[in-house]
Every structure is written in structure tokens, then in C-alpha cells.
Structure 1
Amino acid sequence: MSDQLSPSKKPFLYVVVCAAGIAGDVGKLIAAAQEQQWDVGVVATPQALGFLDVQAIEARTGYPIRSAWRSPGAPRPLPPADAIAIAPATFNTINKWAAGIADTLALGILCEAHGLGIPTAVLPYLNSAMAAHPAYRQSLGRLREMGVLISSSEPHRPKSGGGADRFRWEEALELLAPEVSERQ
């Protein structure tokens, strides 16, 4: 990550996608980011790949979706991130990330982002029964302490179809805007 964004270079946004029913709509966030002059690369948890139209996303972004570590010496397929948006973020990913568990590429990137000072916004997507678990509240608290920007969205009712109509993909960009403008 560069300390300052070059005026001639678009900022680069990593969109980290987790395995949730609405993950297939991540194109909404990608399109909104591109409209705001971001270049975008997608990093998916291994389970999220099954929810995505990989070819469409790669065609839209111009970059391969990353879901596994690259081999030593292999070129980096994405430029360094200027910011990261995790959407949708699942119960599992939020808890592992807050605990410092980096057992997937996506979690490794998120854990490392804190130490690199990369502005990071998360849009949790889970039901209220999962959100009631004490580990989730503790994880959100730890992420806030780390400076992670967290969506104001509320968990949906269990077995309700997920509240996809209320999920505001663009909120990730709204949360990141002040952080990124400070760096320019």
C-alpha cells in the first residue's frame, strides 16, 4: 500500500466476499466503486466462490478473483490495496478475523491490513440468532478497536430469506470515503 495515492492513479479497492446468500450480488458494489473511480479486485473466501459468477466479475474488474495463496515467486495478481471492503461478511469470517485467525487468503489479507494501516470497512450479513452469540459482539468490539469501519445494518430474522433488499452495498464506499480522502 502506498502512503499517498497518486493523482494519476485510481485508488485500488479489494472487495472481500464471504459465502452468504447475497454474495452473487457483489457486482452492485463493484459497479458503484468503479463509478466512483476505484479500480477493484475481488478476494473470495473459498466457500464464496460457489456463490459468484467468476467470469462476469473477472470481466468487469479485469483481474482474477483471488481465493488461494499464490505460489512463492509467482507474480502478484492484484495491485496493493488502498482500501478494503468486506461484503457480505459472515459470522464465521468476522469472528476469525477478530481472533487473528488467518486460515484463508481472505482472512490473511484482513489480518495483515490492520498492521499495514489499510482503511477497512465491513458489511456484516447474518441473522439475528447468530448475532446474539456473545462472540459476535466481542468480535465487533475488537474490530472497532482496530479501527475497522462497521456497517449500521441490522441482522435479518432467521429463516426469513435474508433481507437482501435492505443490504446497502454502497455503504462500504460511504464508510471508506473520509478515510481515503485523508490519504489523498
Structure 2
Amino acid sequence: MTTPRTLYLFCSAAPPVFDVARVVEEAQRDGWDVCLGLTPTAAEWLEEGLEGLAALTGHPVRRSYKRPGEPDAWPKADVILFAPATFNSINAWALGLTDKFVVGVVAEGIGKGIPLVAMPCVNSAYVQHPAFDQSVRTLREAGVTVLYGEDGFMPNQPGQGRPDGYPWRLALDAARASARA
């Protein structure tokens, strides 16, 4: 019997995060051992379901760094998928601002050579800010697969989110392809 590959699924606080249990199940059907990491706000949004998500994945849901000397509760990642990734998370990652656990792991993942996939969830007003395009470019130049634009997430108008239209399958397929590469 083969050991499943490990997918770290990291999520920011954007409406598609409410569908994360279904996405975990879909990833598990694809053969992944899923470890779920959340930004603090995403963890707050999902607070009532965190125990269930931990039971679903078989791993603790993480939102903060472990203490020095503590053993790691997760196996090593074969790939990290950061979706939905908010405007704040994308910019913090590109700038190396690692006060949030999930951003710290993906920032370090660049240097460790872990395959990284990000799919933003931002509205069309946020993407007008010049930092966003620069951050996407910076991450792509660092080897991160950023699913944004015609071949990925397309921004919606402010206040007109489409959480049910978030292309989770595209993100999972890109993670699988990145892990194979």
C-alpha cells in the first residue's frame, strides 16, 4: 500500500473558505493526506467547525506557529495550496511578512523548494492597487504557480462575490500537477 502524498491546504478569510470541508473531501478522494492551515480570521470564521475539520483531516487545524522545540504535528508537505488567498495574504507573502503562520510557511516553502500553488480571491477594486500585480509577479518569479487571470481566478465586482463559483477544482488540479513536476 502506498502512502498518500501530503497536501497542505492553506486558506485566508474569503467567502470560499466556508466550502473547505467539501474541498478537503475532494482532495482526499484524489489521494491526498490533507493538513489544513488557516489565517487567524479564517479560523475565527470557521471556529464552530474546527474540531470537525480536524477529525476530517486527521490532523490538527493550525492557525499559529508551534513553540520552539515542539514536535511538528503534520507530515512534510509534498505541495502547498494557498486558496483562497486574499489581497492581504498575497501581498504579505510577496513581501516576506510572516506574522501569520500560513504566510510564514509558504514564504519559507520558496526557499525549501516545496511546490507552491496560490489562487487569489480578490475583488476588482483590490486588484487596481499597484501592489497586487507586483506581488503576483514577485511570487511567479519565485516559482509559485499563481492561478490568477484568464487561466485562474477572475476578480468579481466589490460586494458581488461568487463563493460557489470559486474554481476549487482548478486549484486542486494545479496542486497535483505541481507535486508531479
TM value normalised by structure 2: 0.92
The match for 1:17 is 11
RMSD of the alignment, in Å? 1.3
The match for 1:109 is 105
Write out the 4+ residue segments of structure 1 that deviate beyond 3 Å after TM superposition.
none
Alpha-carbon offset, residue 27 of structure 1: 1.7
The match for 1:4 is none
The match for 1:164 is 163
Alpha-carbon offset, residue 30 of structure 1: 0.9
Answering whether residue 26 of structure 2 is matched by residue 32 of structure 1, we say: yes
Between the two proteins, the alignment pairs up a number of residues equal to 175
The match for 2:119 is 123
Q: How does 1:19-168 map to 2 (within 5 A)?
A: 19-52=13-46, 53-151=49-147, 152-160=152-160, 162-168=161-167
Q: Which runs of 5+ in 2 are unaligned?
A: none
Secondary structure of 1:40 counterpart: strand
Per mean C-alpha deviation after superposition, the further-off stretch among 50-59 and 86-95 is 50-59
Deviations 1:59-106, CA, capped at 9 Å, x for gaps: 110111111111222221111111001111000000000011111111
Could you tell me the percent identity over the aligned residues?
A: 38
Deviations 1:105-139, CA, capped at 9 Å, x for gaps: 11110100001111111111011000111100000
Secondary structure of 1:79 counterpart: coil
